[in-house]
Amino acid sequence: MSLESESKTESKTVADLEDVDGVEVLLGNARFELMPFESFDEEITHLPDGATVAITTSPQLGIDRTVEKTEAAVAQGYEVVPHVAARYVEDREHLEEIARRLTEAGVTDIFVPGGDREEPAGEFESAYDLLTALEETEYEFEEVGITGYPEGHDFLSDETLRESMERKEPFATYIVTQLCYDPETVLEWISELRDRGVDLPVEVGIPGVMKYQRLLQISQKVGVGDSIKFLKKTTGILGFVRQLIGSRGTYKPDELIDGLAPYVADESYGIRGVHIYAFNQTADLESWRLERLKR
């Protein structure tokens, strides 16, 4: 494991600081999202001791694999935030079993998305359905995250997304945004959120470090259209093409971090940190993160 666990500094609240080092707050307390594939056990070792690790629900492996990897990672000393994706939970009995195992493992923070499964495995169509059912169980978690969409959703209207947020907000303690490359888009979305009276803190979802070609493939798969245009714009089309075809064409989220950092001190935005979509490529990500913290 990295010896730089000190870089994961004691959590800072904006209210405690006048002169906030935005980059340090964002990257010093970042959470890392991993997928529970075979590479998981190796990839997690590149992260700092005690790092906060979010574990997704895989369409191929199901939610029980997420729970298994959560139990193992907690035992290794990580702070783990499992995705309890609603459309992968079969019924209330299954939900109670998941909640029991997570509670016994020591999990205090869960993230509840709807899930990208076309047909739900059982009775839970949406995150709201699962959140209301969880409320009726004996299990309670200190932190509950829900999803935010700065660029909208391919299959849901903006009005539907707003209504969904309003319904889920009472059950949640924070929001994690969908992958986005453009800091201005994220900041505008947060401002609109605050105008509607939603004051939950935000974990801004950003991509990790990886080859442009792979990142574009992932982005297109998750429906990040405007962000792809922004990515091309930031490098210039010729530079972008060169990066795509060159062996060293690697994306690093510097512009995102630099664009968000000045707003960390602004309490009206309520930016709590970044949620890094690592896509199980943590070695280069961690090298970049530590380098940025040294600047």
pLDDT tens over the chain, length 295 residues = 444 434 433 443 433 434 469 999 999 989 999 999 999 999 999 999 999 999 999 888 999 999 999 999 999 999 999 999 999 999 999 999 999 999 999 999 999 999 878 899 999 999 999 999 999 999 999 999 999 999 877 767 888 889 999 999 999 999 999 888 889 999 999 999 999 999 999 999 998 998 766 666 555 554 444 444 544 444 444 444 444 444 356 888 898 999 999 999 999 999 999 999 998 899 999 999 999 999 8
Residue 31's DSSP bridge partners are 52, 275
Cβ atoms of residues 275 and 31 within 8 Å = yes
Do 189 and 217 reside in the same domain of the chain?
A: no
Cβ atoms of residues 89 and 124 within 8 Å = yes
pTM comes to 0.84
Domain count within the chain: 2
Do 22 and 162 reside in the same domain of the chain?
A: yes
- What residues make up the domain containing 63? 5-209+252-294
Quickly tell me which residue has 């010896």 as its tokens. 3
Cβ atoms of residues 98 and 71 within 8 Å = no
Do 21 and 134 reside in the same domain of the chain?
A: yes
Q: What is the rounded CA–CA span in Å between residue 215 and residue 204? A: 18
